[in-house]
């Protein structure tokens, strides 16, 4: 049985944040399903990464969703 998604995120967070280009992680929704969201500085094609740098498509039974971090700045 899978741990609750919040526990899965806590368990996986250190390893995810150690990956190049990963800036934060969190929980989100994709296609009506709870997912672990991995925010990256920029999206990189999988074939441009070393195998150990690829974010798995699932972690502890939960899908991952890789999203580009968007910076929002206040209007001047």
pTM: 0.87
Give the domain ranges of the chain: 5-68
Q: What DSSP string describes the chain?
A: -PPPHHHHHHHHHHHHHTSTTEEEEEEEEETTEEEEEEEESS---GGGS-GGGSPPSEETTEEEEEEE--------
Give the tens place of pLDDT for each residue, 28-70.
999 999 999 999 999 999 999 999 999 999 999 999 999 998 7
Residue 58 token pair: 């699932």
Tell me which of 27 and 76 has the higher pLDDT: 27
Confidence check: pLDDT of 75 > 90:
no
The answer to whether the CB of 60 falls within 8 A of the CB of 12 is yes
Give the tens place of pLDDT for each residue, 5-23.
999 999 999 999 999 999 9
CA–CA gap between residue 61 and residue 16 (Å, rounded): 16
């Amino acid at each position: 049985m899978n741990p609750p998604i919040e526990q899965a995120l806590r368990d996986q967070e250190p390893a995810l944040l150690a990956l190049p280009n990963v800036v934060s992680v969190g929980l989100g929704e994709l296609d009506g399903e709870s997912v672990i969201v991995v925010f990256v500085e920029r999206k990189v094609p999988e074939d441009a990464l070393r195998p150990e740098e690829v974010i798995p498509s699932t972690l502890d039974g939960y899908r991952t969703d890789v999203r580009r971090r968007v910076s929002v700045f206040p209007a001047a």
